[in-house]
Structure formats: C-alpha cells, structure tokens
C-alpha cells in the first residue's frame, strides 16, 4: 500500500480519479427531493471513475452512467443555499434529498429529528443515502440556543460514520463533523470573511485539495480529530481534514451570489461590524463564479469517487 493510502482514502483515490435559498414549510425530516437523472439507484455502487475538470476525461456523462447517487443535504438556517455544490451534484445526475433543521430565518429553533439512515425498502444494503453533505450555519456548535438540535445531529453523524456513509462538512458542517469525530470547536483569534486562499500541505495536494480562493465566513475553528489528517490551514486554524471517506472544509465551496444574498438576510450586521462592504463581497462572487464552479465540480467528483464502505 502506498504511504498516502495509509494516511487517507482521499489521497488514496486520486490516482483512480485521474486515470480513467432552500427553506422548509414544516419540520419534517425530509422536506424536498430533486434528481438530475432518471436512472435508478444501483445497489452498493459508487459513481466513478472520472477524469479531471474537463468533460473529455470522463466528465459528467460517466458519473450518470454509473448510476444515480442519493445524497442528503443537511441545511441548518432557513435561508441556506447549496449554490455551486448543488449544481455540481445535479450535473452528475445525483438524487438530492434536503433536510431542513430551522424553519424560520434568524431563529435558532430547529427540529431535533433527523432522517433515518436505513431504508429496507430500497433493497441491497438498505442504506437510505450514499453520501451526506452538511452545510453551514450562523450559529456556533457550542451555542446553548441550538443545543436541542446540535446534540441530536452529532449523534446522527456518528451513526452515519459507523454505517460507512461518507460525509462532507462545509464550515459549520466541518465543525460539527469534527465534533462528532472527537475534535473540538472554539473561537479563532483570526475570524475570516471574504475570498481567501488556504495553505494546502503536501498530503492535501496529493488528496486534490485546492488552494482557492474560497469564500470564508466564520469566527470559529475546529481542531483536527484524533486519527484524521490535516490537509490545509490558514492563520485562523485548520481549513481541511480527512478521516477515511469523510472530509471537513472550513470554507464555503457552495458560495455564489444567491447563497451570499441569502446569508445577508440575517447576517449583514456581521459585515458592518468588521467594516466590509456587502456589494464588494457579492462582486467577488460574480468575479470568481466560473472558477468557483469548477472547483466545486472537482470537489464533488472527488467526494463521490470514494468507495462506499458499509457493514
């Protein structure tokens, strides 16, 4: 086994890859579903392999041909959007199921009920989802106002890890994933809001982590869980980690203008507090749109080429 394989399945599968506003009307665990493909779900099959970014090296057609992957999107804030990440999953024909935690903008009140991970009627291994993506939140993991749904979500993620369902955590999603895996979350001395590059280490480069620029909007930082591998960092703290098929990213690969506009409904005051111009941040989303979309497609393909290990 190459040394990189012993460190992370993310690094291990890179050679394989290179070779060939959502809101809820109520607090039901699953509030919406969409699919970019009419194909049925295969049993225990992960999509791939794909080439790089270009359509000529595998591309989205290969992703669709390998069968539809069912992905659970976990959104916390009522005005959370999936942006570039959602389009990337749609482009590869994934079936996306959305779970909404908080139903009202600005309100920390959310549902403690999360979807079942087992779906016996699906046949095969009975797994309800092939992948889970956990999005950001205006709240902190340790905020007592949201403990009534954060603690059940941590247990939900721990069950998913035990079941072998790969998880991608974005910003708050990475922080709660790190917590579920035994890490910690606390305030950083260097909050980040804006478009920044991250420092990718050698292992991260092998694993396909890109330096950006990425949209950052956070005042908390996670510690890398025991047994996980740090892939990137900034002066604010760790920016990316991997543990087996699970990946936590402190930044927001989903961020486009519409996603930012959704956040600004509640969080414009945060920009004012640090002297940032909202129009400048939105203009950055437009300027980086094409490159950010390409990075999100690459990230999603990397995430979905990981083997599904269950049972």
CATH of the domain at 94: 3.40.50.880
Residue 34 pLDDT exceeds 80: no
pLDDT of residue 47: 28
Mean pLDDT across 116-125: 68
Mean pLDDT across 109-136: 85
Q: Compute and round to an integer the Cα radius of gyration of the chain.
A: 18
Residue 150 belongs to a domain: yes
Residue 309 belongs to a domain: no
Residue 223 belongs to a domain: yes
Q: Which spans in the chain are helix H? A: 3-7, 9-12, 14-19, 59-65, 83-91, 147-163, 172-180, 202-206, 257-273, 278-287, 289-304
Picking from 55-64, 106-115, 175-184, 299-308, which range would have the lowest pLDDT averaged per residue? Answer: 55-64
pLDDT of residue 127: 85
Q: Which two tokens stand for residue 81?
A: 């959007």
Residue 275 sits in which domain range? 3-304
- The proportion of the chain whose per-residue pLDDT surpasses 90, expressed as a percent, equals 64
Nearest to 138 by CA among 224, 220, 25, 241: 220
Residue 311 belongs to a domain: no
288: left (phi over 0), alpha (psi -120 to 50) or beta: alpha
pLDDT of residue 84: 97
pLDDT of residue 240: 96
Residue 162 belongs to a domain: yes
Residue 310 belongs to a domain: no
Contact 32, 72 (CB under 8 A): no
**Sheet of strand 32-35: strand arrangement:** 32-35, 95-100, 70-75, 131-134, 167-170, 246-249, 237-243, 229-234, 199-200
Picking from 148-157, 206-215, 298-307, which range would have the lowest pLDDT averaged per residue? Answer: 298-307
Residue 308 pLDDT exceeds 80: no
pLDDT of residue 242: 95
Question: What does the mean pLDDT of the chain come to?
Answer: 80
Residue 85 belongs to a domain: yes
Residue 14 pLDDT exceeds 50: no
Number of structural domains found in the chain: 1
Residue 261 belongs to a domain: yes
Mean pLDDT across 196-201: 96
pLDDT of residue 112: 97
d(CA 232, CA 7): 14
């Amino acid at each position: 086994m190459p040394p990189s394989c012993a460190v992370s399945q993310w690094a291990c599968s890179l050679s394989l890859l290179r070779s060939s506003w959502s809101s809820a009307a109520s607090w039901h665990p699953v509030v919406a579903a969409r699919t970019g493909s009419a194909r049925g779900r295969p049993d225990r099959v992960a999509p791939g392999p794909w080439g790089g970014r270009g359509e000529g090296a595998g591309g989205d057609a290969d992703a669709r041909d390998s069968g539809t992957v069912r992905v659970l999107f976990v959104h916390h804030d009522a005005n959370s959007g999936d942006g570039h990440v959602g389009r990337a999953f749609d482009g590869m024909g994934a079936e996306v199921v959305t779970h909404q935690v908080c139903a009202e903008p600005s309100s920390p009140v959310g549902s403690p009920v999360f979807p079942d991970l087992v779906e016996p009627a699906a046949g095969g291994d009975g797994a309800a989802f092939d992948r889970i993506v956990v999005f950001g939140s205006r709240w902190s993991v340790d905020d007592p106002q949201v403990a009534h749904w954060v603690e059940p979500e941590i247990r939900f993620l721990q069950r998913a890890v035990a079941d072998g369902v790969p998880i991608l955590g974005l910003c708050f999603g990475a922080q709660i994933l790190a917590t579920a895996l035994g890490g910690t979350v606390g305030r950083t001395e260097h909050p980040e809001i804006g478009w920044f590059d991250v420092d990718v280490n050698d292992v991260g480069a092998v694993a396909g982590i890109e330096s950006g620029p990425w949209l950052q909007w956070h005042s908390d930082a996670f510690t890398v869980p025991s047994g996980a591998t740090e892939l990137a960092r900034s002066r604010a703290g760790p920016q990316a980690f991997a543990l087996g098929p699970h990946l936590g990213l402190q930044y927001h690969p989903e961020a486009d203008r519409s996603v930012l506009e959704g956040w600004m409904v509640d969080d414009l005051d945060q920009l004012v507090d640090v002297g940032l111009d909202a129009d400048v941040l939105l203009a950055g989303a437009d300027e980086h749109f094409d490159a950010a979309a390409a990075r999100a497609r690459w990230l999603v393909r990397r995430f979905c080429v990981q083997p599904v290990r269950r049972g």
